[in-house]
Structure 1
Amino acid sequence: MARGGINKALVMRAQQALLARGEHPSIDAVRVELGNTGSKTTIHRYLKELEESEAERAGNAAGLSDELAALIAPLAARLQEEAEETVARMRQQCEVERAEFEARQARAQERIQHLEEQVGSLTASLQAETEHHRHSREQWQLAEIDRARLLQANQDQAAHLKDRDEQVRSLEEKHRHGREALEHYRQASKEQREQEQRRHEAQLQQVQMELRQLQQSLILKQDEVTRLNRANERLASESLHKDKELDGQRDRLERQAGELAALHDRMTQSHAAREVLQERLGLSRAETDGLKAALDAQRQEAQRLHIDLAAAGTELQLLRQVLADERERARPTSPEPEKS
């Protein structure tokens, strides 16, 4: 008894499929066609029965007339030819569709690879811009520190100049007090000028010397104040230059922030395009599964056509048998001899 659902009809279908492909229907070939199922003994028995049926049909066909055989043979050949052409055309169509699908899949794979390379390049650019932004921020912080230091130095110079101004005012006050004391002394010693002329002149010379020293000190202090004012102007100019540089750095940072936002947008668009391509790849794979299912259906249709062809051959044999029976019944019987 056949195992695994193998029967004579399945063996006959496998035999006809092998014959349609131009292959010899041996036991091993039939078993492979059946999916490596069934015992070789069972397959051999069914093949032997099919050969005996073919031989019996061939023997029955030998009794037909040449005219009927000539009419039926082209019909059978035409059925076989049309079936083979249909199978060949369906195979060619499947191959074309398969080639087109593989080409589309290859283009989609190349597109995905290209987008992955673009994403890698954009990621590298984003990292470089981030590093440049960090470096610019560090430079800006250093510039802020220098600006604060310069402002502190400017404040220190202003305080120092204020102290110098206080010292100059103090010296001027001392000088004024000295002149007042000198005038008071002149008024007080007016009555004793003749007796104390020499002493007064000596004191006057000493006071004048001190006055010259004070004037020289005042000149030196004024020169120092002038130098401090020039240094203050130079510091103010440097501070203004630093402010301009800080403004320029702020502008560059704002531009870099805009470029960074644009890069983020481009990266978002790349991710969206990648998702779209992945969806398309999923659709292509689904289409591939559909094409495979259609190919399986076409293969089943081809097998059905082979079975129909075998059924048509069987019907043809039956038709031949019916025609032979009709012909046998249509033969006239021999007349009886007349009586004398």
Structure 2
Amino acid sequence: MARGGVNKAVVQIARTAILARGEHPSIDAVRIEMGNTGSKTTIHRYLKELDETDSRRGVQHEQLGDELSELVARLAQRLKEQAQEPIDRAEAHYEQLKAELRDQLAQAQQDHLQLQKELDIQNTALQQETANLEATRSMLQTEQTRNAALNQACSDFELRLNDRDEQIRSLEEKHLHARDALEHYRSAVKEQREQEQRRHEGQLQQLQMELRQAQQSALVRQDEITQLHRDNERVLSESRALSKELNQASDQQHKLSNLNERLTALLSQQESERTLLQERLRVATQESQALKEAQNQALEASAALTLRALKAEAALDTLTASLSSTPKEDPEL
């Protein structure tokens, strides 16, 4: 259905005006003649009907009368005037649209330049990524080669590991045999150590008994030596007293020799006293000599007992150190 204001008569008038100007009445020309109104399909249909009508009637453009030509010219002028206003509006709209399109074109060109720059950047990045990809491929190939070598090394290592496991099992068996031998050796050593410990304990008890006896003998000898020292001191005191008396007697004898004439009567008595004193001195000297010899013997006996006690203590210390240094029994035994 045709739009409002577009019908066959209007199309015919526009066609006639175009033909009057000597132009070909095409669809676009007719539409422009009508002020860019109407559908091209409708105009084409009307033009086809008009062409068929002209063909049937055999009407030629040269046979039109002057009146019809004048009428057509007036109608064409009127249509042109009526169509000029929409054409002007269309031209203004076209200019505005052209300016907008020009602005859009400039913006599009700027966008194109920006996109071109971005494209160049992306191309550069793509080239870089391509180079990185090539490097990555090379690294991947290297890593694949390395992985193959590592896999081969792992296979070799697994073979060596299996051999090592076999060696470990063999060593474990040897260790079990050695452990059994060690247990047997420890049992023998334990039994021998217990025997030696019992023997050492017996020797220690015997030495302790001998030490106690030696200490008791030393105490007795020490008491005897103390008593001998006391007797010696007493004899020495008596000897000093006798020596003092002898000195006094000698003095008296010297005085008496000077008084020989007056003491002739007392000479016999003095001689007797002197003889007695000399005898007492001799006896005291002999007793002192005997006491000295007894003291020396007591000192020698004390030294011998002390030496024996020291030897017993040394033997006891040696035995104690031997027992202390003897390895303790292994907890695993």
Name the TM-score class by shorter chain: 0.3 to 0.5
Q: Which structure would you say has the larger Rg? A: 2
Question: TM-score when scaled to structure 2?
Answer: 0.39
Question: TM-score when scaled to structure 1?
Answer: 0.38
